[in-house]
Structure 1
Amino acid sequence: MRLPNLHGVVRRVAGLGLGSTRAYITTIDIPIPSMGPSIRHGLVLKWAKQVGDAVAADDVVAVFETDKVTVDLRAPQAGVIAKHLVETNVRVPIGSPLFRLTQGLPHSTTYEVRTAGLTVPVPHLGETVADATIVEWVKYEGDRVLADEVVLVLETDKVSVDVCAPVAGVVRRALANVNDVVHVGGPLFVLVPEVSTSDESDASA
């Protein structure tokens, strides 16, 4: 059985070394919150934050409209917007995943993270699975990848798993080779996230 990229679950996706410290980050899909029993659908009027933007807790990420109210949807905690999961002006049910948030990247470290790169680890593969074998690199050093694009394929005695990029960027370095046995949580590759024009302006200011 082959498992594709796992959506809708919290995933440990990166460990970042900055100086003598090491911080682990995760991505999580943030749903559209309940707005009352009579409101079942709505649409995103506009995105206040774009993919790659850093957000603080309670920052407005999107403006959401229903037939009764217009609501600012906010980040539940600090992080970086990894992906929009809803298109603007498309009616969607309440409770649908709205955006993907990479946690653990506050404003003060976002630029340094993009300069140093994210170290993407072997994901959780099940309660009884401790390691896996790399069977294929789909992307190579220097290749640009999109968020959720497959970078490599792992195989265990139970499943094959596509390991995907948590955010768009460039693969800087592979940290293991085909046929290497890697342990859950161990480093797989270094990814340098894309920098938007607004981020470059902020960094140079």
Structure 2
Amino acid sequence: MVWELVRMLGGGAGRAGLIGIMAALLLLVAKLLPVGFGLLLLLLACLAGAVLLGKTRGLYIAHSALILFAGFGLLIHREEFGLIWMIWLVLVVAGTDVFGYFAGRIIGGPKFWPRISPKKTWSGTVAGWICAGIVGAGFMKLTGSGVELIGISVALSIASQIGDITESALKRRVGVKDSSTLLPGHGGVFDRFDGMLGAALLLFLVESLTEFPPMPL
């Protein structure tokens, strides 16, 4: 994703490859360190990559931080909570996207933000939240978690939509249709996982600041 980001920002193939490899290696090293040092290393990765870019370094810092911190959060989430909670996260994000798409196509209605994402509608947006709430309720029953899991699931749904919109805004600003052609017919990895980035980043904060999974009242 960092490789795609640098290419979108006009960094060229050589710089994109160098910064992408650096980001991947630093993420792996950060995982081996205590969290405090790992987060520091990721911030340094964002700044180091910006040195190699010109006028777009601000965009690089913001979006590379999203990618790296979300990736770090996913590594922590997988290690500490295991497969069942990874499946929950994937279903929340995928359900938001799928239900939002079909509800938007079937119901239609007012556009959410036509200048940035002309295909997204309010009906699809709300349908994504509803789907996430249903997933949260299902996993609440499955795992014996508290009712707060429903609220967390809907919040992650909103965060995934924000991640999607953020990447759409970036592509419009730099004038590209897809982040890359790595996935024929689907664009790039950044295109496919922009929603997961937003959700993973919020989940990282939730797990750092509160008890997760939430206990029953």
TM-score, with structure 2 as normaliser: 0.25
More helix by percentage = 2
More strand by percentage = 1
TM-score, with structure 1 as normaliser: 0.26
